[in-house]
Amino acid sequence: MIEMKIKGVTVDPVTSMPIIILKDKEGKRTLPIWVGVFEAGAIALELEGMIAPRPLTHDLIKSIIEGLQGRVTQVHVYSLRDNTFFAKIVICRGKKKVNIDARPSDALALALRTGVPIYVSEEALDDISKFDRFEEGEEIEKLKLFLANLKPEDFGKYKM
């Protein structure tokens, strides 16, 4: 498992879908995860340090876990199958550890809210090269170029 950080939320130039960009500590490996508009919004709000007037779903989940004397300890993005990423949230309660299946967007939003590390498996990083959301050719080359050239200022306040 490789520890990664959420570097930002951007928009896919080909599909106009939100993408969460994860990078390893050295900045050498990037993992783009396409997510829904609402999930991207929840992550962007947290990245920007904005507080919603009422708890969002991920705030509620955090409160429920803590209210049951549990704590989130880490998040894993461990697989990519049929163009879908799989993740789990690791929760500890006393000496008991529970792995909860989750969409990566939900796991990442919760990781941000709890300040826990995000780990990505080598398998998921290797499998992204087989990702076939796009036809080979011009579209995939355009996306690769876009991801390779991302700069910090590209992660701004996006209207979702």
Residue 149 confidence (pLDDT): 66
Q: pLDDT tens for residues 94-135?
A: 999 999 999 999 999 999 999 999 999 998 888 776 555 545
DSSP structure class, residue 133: S
Task: For 105, list phi and psi in degrees, rounded to 5.
Answer: -60, -40
pTM of the model: 0.80
Q: What CATH code would you report for 2-151?
A: 3.10.690.10
10 Å Cβ neighbour count for 155? 17
